[in-house]
Amino acid sequence: MKIGFDAKRAFHNNTGLGNYSRFVIEALLKYFPQNEYFAYSPKLSNREIGIKGIIPKNKFLWRSWLIKNDLQRERIEIYHGLSNELPFGKMPSGIKTVVTIHDLIFERYPKLYPFFDALIYKIKFRKACQKADAVVAVSEQTKRDIIDFYGINPDKIHVIYQDCEVAFHEKLSTEHIENVKVKYQIKKKYILSVGTIIERKNQASLVAAFQKLNLSNYELILVGGHSKYQNQIEKYIKANSVKNIKILNKVPFQDLPAIYQGSELFVYPSFFEGFGIPIVEALHSGVPVVAATGSCLEEAGGEGALYANPLNVNDLADKMLQILVNKDLRKQLILAGQKHVMQFSAQSIAGKFNKLYHAI
């Protein structure tokens, strides 16, 4: 098959959508090299994704309209919008379409988004779901949302999970982990949370839970991009004299696996997610997890995590303490987590995509 991808995110995004796009492309290249793959992007970068990028002849509105000319010229048989979008209008004859929908958080929590951003997302995502020959949802939660908000036929929606970057699969040396801890001045055992520091991620509740536990021999490390929400958290920490909390912004990717593997516990108290890749990263790192109920995080964590009500600080603190004081529970969660993430292997997921492409 000749398969084209919207690879803009693969070349230019360092986090969620970029990681997903690269994971899918690289997995298919490795396990199904008999297909011919094309990666379209309005401009290219130095990033290697395994195949040469193609710049559309008409960069203006290429994702929305004009890429169709390029696809027809290259005789593409399947076009996969890896990040929630497909071109508007009728596709040329002989080209089937797949779109991956990562989440519909803007539908559930529109107030968390600028008005016009949410409006554009609503139009693009709905149209893509209606038009696509097949819709890929990254979780059962996202599938339910696509059905509930857009009325899409469930038979058209296929849940295909994803794995994290392979760097999280590799066991690092104690020396390497210690060197990274020294770099960030982490001097105690620590509880970790990774994710952009925004209201939906709910780090404020984690800070309050950590304060309630009053663990003088532990630090809480928050890693993620800065926002105004971080300012609120910092004011709370200062006003309540909460000790042993570090907030690390702009941590380079190459340091993250060591930061994960050096932690005692990973906590992800987000109110709502499309899937929850940081949980998968933690499980690959051999770290037990506390995650929030209410969306899809049970899918990401399986039996490798305990789950708490993100609105209940006492529940969150209790689940954290259970893991920190119970060595048997900790071992049980780590083993269960390692088993759970096997289903997210690149080979398994590439096989599901290839089967889907053949089916349409």
Q: Write the CATH number for 124.
A: 3.40.50.2000
Same domain, 229 and 145: no
Same domain, 140 and 170: no
The residue-averaged pLDDT of 76-87 equals 97
User: For residue 58, what pLDDT band results from cuts at 50, 70 and 90?
Assistant: confident
Same domain, 182 and 319: yes
CB 49 within 8 A of CB 83: no
What's the chain's Rg over C-alpha atoms? 21
Write the pLDDT tens digit of every residue in 333-358: 999 999 999 999 999 999 999 999 99
User: For residue 137, what pLDDT band results from cuts at 50, 70 and 90?
Assistant: very high
CB 156 within 8 A of CB 342: no
Write the pLDDT tens digit of every residue in 286-341: 999 999 999 899 999 999 999 999 999 999 999 999 999 999 999 999 999 999 99
313-325 vs 327-340: helix crossing angle, rounded to 10: 100
Give the pLDDT confidence score for residue 16 in this predicted structure.
84
Same domain, 109 and 223: no
Same domain, 173 and 320: yes
Same domain, 246 and 159: no
Give the pLDDT confidence score for residue 277 in this predicted structure.
94
Q: Which of 51, 26, 32, 30 is CA-nearest to residue 41?
A: 51
Q: What distance lies between CA 274 and its chain's CA centroid?
A: 8
Give the pLDDT confidence score for residue 59 in this predicted structure.
78
Give the pLDDT confidence score for residue 45 in this predicted structure.
85
Same domain, 319 and 193: yes
- pLDDT for residue 56 is more than 90: no
Give the pLDDT confidence score for residue 65 in this predicted structure.
86
Looking at every residue in the chain, the average pLDDT score rounds to: 95
The residue length of the chain stands at: 360
Q: Which of 51, 47, 55, 23 is CA-nearest to residue 38?
A: 51
CB 131 within 8 A of CB 97: yes
Give the pLDDT confidence score for residue 57 in this predicted structure.
82
User: For residue 13, what pLDDT band results from cuts at 50, 70 and 90?
Assistant: confident
Give the pLDDT confidence score for residue 52 in this predicted structure.
83
CB 297 within 8 A of CB 268: yes
Same domain, 48 and 119: yes
Give the pLDDT confidence score for residue 313 in this predicted structure.
98
- pLDDT for residue 60 is more than 90: no
User: For residue 136, what pLDDT band results from cuts at 50, 70 and 90?
Assistant: very high
Same domain, 174 and 111: no
The residue-averaged pLDDT of 73-85 equals 96
Same domain, 67 and 157: yes
Give the pLDDT confidence score for residue 47 in this predicted structure.
84
DSSP secondary structure, 16-84, as one string? HHHHHHHHHHHHHHHH-TTSEEEEE-SS--S---SS-EE--S--TTIIIIIHHHHHHHTT-SEEEETTS
Contacts of 219 (CB under 8 A, 6+ apart): 186, 187, 188, 189, 190, 191, 244, 245, 246
Write the pLDDT tens digit of every residue in 251-267: 999 999 999 999 999 99
Whole-angstrom CA distances from 333 to 265, 295, 303, 327 are: 11, 20, 7, 10
- pLDDT for residue 44 is more than 90: no
Provide the domain count of the chain: 2
Same domain, 264 and 302: yes
- pLDDT for residue 46 is more than 90: no
Give the pLDDT confidence score for residue 114 in this predicted structure.
93
Range of the domain at 25: 2-163+345-359
φ and ψ of 206, to 5 deg:
-65, -40
Q: Which of 99, 100, 146, 144 is CA-nearest to residue 122?
A: 146
φ and ψ of 280, to 5 deg:
-65, -40
User: For residue 99, what pLDDT band results from cuts at 50, 70 and 90?
Assistant: very high
Give the pLDDT confidence score for residue 337 in this predicted structure.
97
Same domain, 354 and 251: no
Contacts of 66 (CB under 8 A, 6+ apart): 56, 57, 58, 60, 87
Q: What per-residue string of b and e applies to 283-313 under the rule 16 or more CB within 10 Å gives b?
A: bbbebbbbbbebbbbbbbbbebbbbbebeeb
Higher pLDDT, 155 or 59: 155
Q: Name all contacts of 233-237 with Cβ < 8 Å and 24+ positions apart.
A: 233/197, 233/203, 233/204, 233/207, 236/204, 236/207, 236/208, 237/207
φ and ψ of 292, to 5 deg:
-95, 145
Distance CA 110, CA 332 (A): 39
Write the pLDDT tens digit of every residue in 149-187: 999 999 999 999 999 989 999 999 999 999 999 999 999
User: For residue 230, what pLDDT band results from cuts at 50, 70 and 90?
Assistant: very high
